[in-house]
Amino acid sequence: MDHSPGFLRLVDEARARVHEIAVTDVPRRVSAGARFFDVREDREWDASHPAGAEHLGKGVIERDIERLVPDTGAELLLMCGGGYRSALAADALQRMGYTNVHSVAGGWRAWQAAELPVVRG
């Protein structure tokens, strides 16, 4: 996807503040108790998504996260299509007081490339 310079600048600033993890680290962290959220749009989620993920779109994550995960110390893993929106969402959650948030580098494309389990719509 061809992203605009302003968007890329915003993502780069967020990535400077957010910890990214490899897609291959997700299953182990989820097994240890991390919550794994796919922050893509509804239509993307409906088509297919990572097995074990919960859906909470980037457009509503700030609104709904405190109800779903009241513990601001809980480990949260966020994934989108390529790691851009998840970095922005992770940055926002950190500003809300969440202290153990990670963006999944490479996102959905990296998940598929690693041949990790998928749920088809």
List the catalytic residues. Answer: 80
Angle formed by the axes of helices 84-95 and 61-68, to 10°?
Answer: 60
Distance CA 101, CA 94 (A): 7
Enter the tokens of residue 59.
Answer: 């457009």
